[in-house]
Amino acid sequence: MRSNWSLSQLLEDLHRDIEQQLEIARRSFAHPSVKGDASEAVWLTLLQNYLSARYDVIQAHVVDSKGNFSDQIDIVVRDKQYSPFIFYFRDQEIVPAESVYAVFEAKQTVNADLIDYAETKAESVRKLHRTSLPIPHAGGTYPPKPLSPILAGILSFQSEWSPALGDTLISHLTTDDSNRQLDLGCIAAHGIFSRQTDGSYQLTPESKPATAFLFELIARLQIQATVPMIDVKAYAEWLSPDFQAPADPT
């Protein structure tokens, strides 16, 4: 018996749902911070619903074992299986740097200021120290897992530029500072951008950008595999009253 299901229709409906929610947030709320919070909630819900259970998707600060903290990040995709929380209180979450797969800033409109803002947020996470311990297994010990780059990007509804996906966007995304590079982004009304291995940007106009972004993110997370084995004792040293924090090299 032929099925009446349509995969194409399902994927289109997923994108339409996200785009409509973002548009409602834009139309319904006058205060910029309320509008921003509503947009962020739309993207958080999307990723929480569609990424696999091994990932946790939250708003958070990130900390390293040397006591350095990131800025507050709108959306953190973190490991849920192997990494502990450092602190949790009334929706204020602080997670270890080793647990982070990706970070995103979510706003209503992409412009030059937002790109610079998102780059600064990405830098505040990527410059943190990450530990990686040898991994014991039944036959012995694997060497420490090399650290994978932390993905970073932007999620928005619209763009200030026309065309939304064009040379102006690329010129603002291009930077030689690896800590500030943005890898992936979605402008839900227009399409997605993605940074390629050669450092160039691919701009993809899409009829279903939110869905395309979701699949691209999942594909990139699959390549990263699992986060490194965290050295929990490096964090536990802060429990000692005699512990002296390392000098900040900056």
* Mean pLDDT (whole number) for 102-108: 94
**Measuring CA to CA, which residue among 192, 190, 191, 96 is closest to residue 153?**
192
Pairing of strands 55-63, 92-96: parallel
Domain membership of residue 83 (yes or no) is yes
Is 154 a domain residue?
A: yes
Residues shown for the chain: 250
pLDDT (tens digit, 9 = 90+) per residue, 183-242? 999 999 899 999 999 999 999 997 789 899 999 999 999 998 888 889 989 988 887 766
Cα end-to-end span (Å), the chain: 67
- Could you give the number of structural domains in the chain? 1
**Residue 74 known to be catalytic:** yes
Nearest Cα residue to 104 out of 151, 71, 70, 64 = 151
CATH code of the domain containing 81: 3.40.91
Is residue 250 in some structural domain? no
**Has residue 248 been placed in a domain?**
no
Is position 232 within any domain?
Answer: yes
Amino acid at 143: P
pLDDT at 84 (0 to 100)? 78
Residues 11-40: what's their mean pLDDT?
69
Would residue 243 count as lying in a domain? no
Per the annotation, the verdict on 35 as an active-site residue is no
Active site residue 12: no
For the stretch 73-92, pLDDT in tens is 999 999 988 787 778 766 78
Range of 104's domain? 8-237
| Active-site residue (options: 98, 105, 119, 183) | 105
Taking the whole predicted model, whether its pTM rises above 0.85 is answered as: yes
* Mean pLDDT, residues 22-41 taken together: 66
**Residue 242, domain member (yes or no):** no
Strand order of the β-sheet with 92-96 is 87-89, 92-96, 55-63, 73-79, 100-106, 151-156, 184-187, 191-195, 201-205
**Catalytic residue, candidates 107, 121, 123, 183:** 107
